[in-house]
Structure formats: structure tokens, C-alpha cells
Amino acid sequence: MAAPRRDTRGIVDAAELFAHVDFRRREPAEPLRPYLEHYWLIDWDLPQPYASHVVPHPSVNVVFQTYADQEPFAEVAGIGLGLFTQKLEGRGRVCGIQFRPGGYRPFGPDRPVSEWTGRRVRLPDSDPAPVLTPDDEDARVAALDAFLLSLEPRPDPQADLAMALVDRIRADRTIRRVADFAAAEGMSVRLLQRLFAAYVGVGPKWVILRYRIHEALERAETEHAVDWAALAADLGYADQAHLVRDFTATVGVPPTAYATKASGPAAS
């Protein structure tokens, strides 16, 4: 694993989020890096409520969190199938672990990852205090390392394969059809789908579509004028209308409306 990602993929209106909260990504201890994308840390102290929105990655997260007037808690957050919205108010803190797609299973080998999909499950036996209490950021990262290392993940070649396959989908925009991808990898479609259900939590078609939306979302955030027809073709859509349909269904507004808002004063 290289240093934590610096892109904003998946974050809706990233500039607005960063204006309201202190958001950082941190690298885990070396033995954990094959399995994790990064840790993500958020602190806030808000005079007015604010709602954050995220188009989830195909990743499981373990999240330690404390909100105003709530007891601290930890939970496993399976892959979110729709837009995730979280209302933030007062003071709070979140320390999250984002696993690589396919990387969670070695830490929870007793059930397929698809059983977590669309669910958020409390971890009653995990004490969130060592992670959430320290004001020192390095101490929080060390506590996250200690928590994961205590789970003693074991090498799993199938997890390695699942992570490698998702990485190829993320990096290669020419991967558009599951049947072609399976054939290129020397696998049947059925075998590929079973691997993704057990180790990723969603099917390969869902992963392909989700990364398309992440790409479109980031382009809308960072480019002054997006050629949506060209981008639709580049991402493998039959036409611009199909991209607009998927973007609107996932983000809640059409891409042109989102891009107009993103280029306004709040995102400047």
C-alpha cells in the first residue's frame, strides 16, 4: 500500500465537508497495510447542524464514534448500497477503518462479507475509549492498530485475489462487462460472483458501476466544464442519458445540477 489516497472520490460536496470538519487520513501499521485503504479521522465543533453525504466505496468500515449527547460506540459498517447521510452537530469525533474491498474477510472469517452489506452492526464488546479519548492523533492511530492486530488476521489467498480484482476494476476503465472481465481472468462468471459475494460483499457489476459514479462525481467537483457525453462514453455508458440516470439515482441530483453547485462559492 502507498500513502493514503488524497482524492475525494465518494464525498459529495467535498469542499463543503472540509469547511465544516477536520478530516484526515492516516496510514496503518505495516502488517495491516495489505488489508486496509487507510484510517480516516474526523473532528468537529459546529455552531449549527450540518449533514454530510457520501457515496460509499465497495469497502467495509469499522467505525469508532462519539456524537453530541450520545455514548461512544463502535460498529461494523457493511457496504452502503445508497447515499449515506450523517447529521453532525455540536462536538464530535469519528475514527474509522476503511478496509480494501476484499480486505475485511481475514478479520471476520466466520461469515461471507455479503452478510454485512447494507447493515451497520454495533460491536458491544469493543471499548471505544482507547480510540476516541486521546486528543493526540498518533495515540488514536496506535489504538486502531492495536485493535486490529488483536484480531490476528490470517493470510487468505482468496482475499488477496479479491483485492487484486477490485483494484483492476478501479484502475482500468475499459473493464465494463462482467463476462468479459471473468474471461480475461480465466474464471467463470459464477465463480467470480461467488468470490465477490464472499470477500467483497457486492457483485462485480455493482463495483464497476459504483466506480463509474465516483469518477463522475470527482470530475464534477474538480473540472470547470465537464463534457458529459464524452465522459459517459469514456466510462462505458451507452449514452449520456444512462450516466445521468445512474448519477441522479445515486447522488440525488442530476450531474449538471451537481456540477453547478460544486463550482459555486461554497466549493471555491
pLDDT at residue 268 in the model: 29
- How many whole angstroms separate alpha carbon 216 and alpha carbon 145? 33
User: Which residues face 93 on adjacent strands?
Assistant: 43, 66
Which residue numbers in the chain have pLDDT < 50? 1, 265-268
- How many whole angstroms separate alpha carbon 204 and alpha carbon 207? 5
* Domain ranges (residues) in the chain: 14-149, 157-267
CA-wise closest residue to 39 among 28, 31, 29, 30: 28
DSSP secondary structure of 66-129? E-TTS--EEEEE---SS-EEEEEEEEEEEEEEEEPTT-SGGGSTTS-GGGTTT-EEE-TT---H
Instruction: For residue 56, give Cα distances in angstroms to 1, 110, 116, 126.
Output: 20, 24, 14, 24
Q: Confirm if 21 and 11 have CB atoms less than 8 A apart.
A: no
Q: Give the angle subtended at the CA of 118 by the CAs of 178 and 192, to the nearest 5°.
A: 25
Tell me which CATH homologous superfamily contains domain 157-267: Homeodomain-like (1.10.10.60)
Q: Confirm if 98 and 37 have CB atoms less than 8 A apart.
A: yes
> Strand, helix or coil at 22?
strand
Options 3.30.70, 1.10.287, 2.60.40, 1.10.3210; CATH for 14-149 is: 2.60.40
pLDDT at residue 222 in the model: 83
pLDDT at residue 267 in the model: 36
Query: Which contiguous run of DSSP H or E holds residue 227?
Result: none
C-alpha torsion 142→146→149→150, nearest 10: 180
Q: Where are the beta strands (DSSP E) in the chain?
A: 22-26, 36-54, 61-66, 73-77, 84-99, 120-122
Q: Which three cell numbers stand for residue 56?
A: 460509499
pLDDT at residue 173 in the model: 86
- Identical fold for domains 14-149 and 157-267, yes or no, is no
CB < 8 Å & 24+ apart, contacts of 174-182: 174/236, 175/208, 176/208, 176/236, 178/203, 178/204, 178/205, 178/208, 181/208
pLDDT tens-digit series, residues 50-100 = 999 999 999 999 999 999 878 999 999 999 999 999 999 999 999 999 999
Q: Answer whether 0.85 is exceeded by the pTM.
A: yes
